[in-house]
Amino acid sequence: MKHITAALKSFLTTLTVLALVASPIYYFTSTSAYVENYYGQVQSNPQYTQSCYPAVVFEQLHLEKDDSFIDIDFSPAKDQITYLGEMGIIEGTSDNIFSPNKALTRAEYLKMVFLAFGNEVSDDSYENDFSDVSESHWAADLIATAKDLDIINGYVDGSFKPDQQITYVEAIKIASRATGCDFWSSELAEHGVSNQTWSSDWFEGYMAWASDNGIYQLDANTKMVRWNGAMLTYDIMKFVNESLGIEMRVMKHV
């Protein structure tokens, strides 16, 4: 019986490996040569800068842990959520639960794009930049770092409203500033987007840019849920990678 169980386990493991290898978002390599060559190609691209982060990550293969979300099968963003989960960019609300239809807050989306574009949070960076962000808030250092990097500037009343549900155009603005890509700044400028502005029609350029480049689009003031955030983040990551000539995928070592 033990021999049968061992053989069955081996067979299932083999099937799992084959399934993963067949998946279009995985590339397995047994040496570091491919990794070095890959980054050599990235860094030789004239549009690449150290802060313009290509959407790729290298992780160790694990076959025993199931990280899949069990509540996204009917979500329009199932593939995007799965991909971002594999990259470690999004997390569930609990084990294997993503809660795709749950409201997405401004602080939560800021965290998502920080991870998506390789920004690192500076510990103990809290400086009371916003009137409604206390040092005890879970995203205090994240928000302070984003302010230092000129990714966010908050509202005219001096608040940031970290726990307020984010709108589509707020999200696309935060994401655009988080990429660190000079070429994207040029792209946005061509659509009339200035650096940081308080004008009443400040969002029009972002909307035009998204429309012209096939980026996931909603009405400007639509309040986003978690699957909306995954869809938008994925599309912007894809745009950055295509601009760099880089295939967007998760690569794991075996």
> 46-93 pLDDT, tens per residue?
665 555 666 665 544 443 445 589 999 999 999 999 888 888 888 899
**CA separation for the pair 134, 140 (Å, rounded):** 7
Residue 56 tokens read as: 């790729």
> 104-129 pLDDT, tens per residue?
999 999 999 988 888 888 887 788 88
> 173-221 pLDDT, tens per residue?
898 888 877 777 777 778 777 654 556 677 888 888 888 888 999 999 9
DSSP string, 54-85: -SEEEEE--SS-----SS-TT-TTHHHHHHHH
Whether residue 210 contacts residue 217, with contact meaning beta carbons closer than 8 Å, is answered with yes
Element (H, E) at 172: helix 168-178
Place of tokens 């001096």: 158
- Please tell me whether residue 94 adopts helix, strand or coil conformation: strand
What ranges do the domains of the chain cover?
Answer: 67-248
Question: What is the separation, in whole angstroms, between the first and last Cα of the chain?
Answer: 30
Which residues, at least 6 apart from 19, have a Cβ–Cβ distance to it below 8 Å? none
Of 79, 134, 69, 67, the C-alpha closest to 107 is 134
The arithmetic mean of pLDDT across residues 32-41, rounded, is 55
Residue 223 backbone dihedrals phi, psi, to 5 degrees: -80, 130
Cross-strand pairs, 94 = 97
**CA separation for the pair 181, 7 (Å, rounded):** 51
* pLDDT over 90, % of the chain: 35
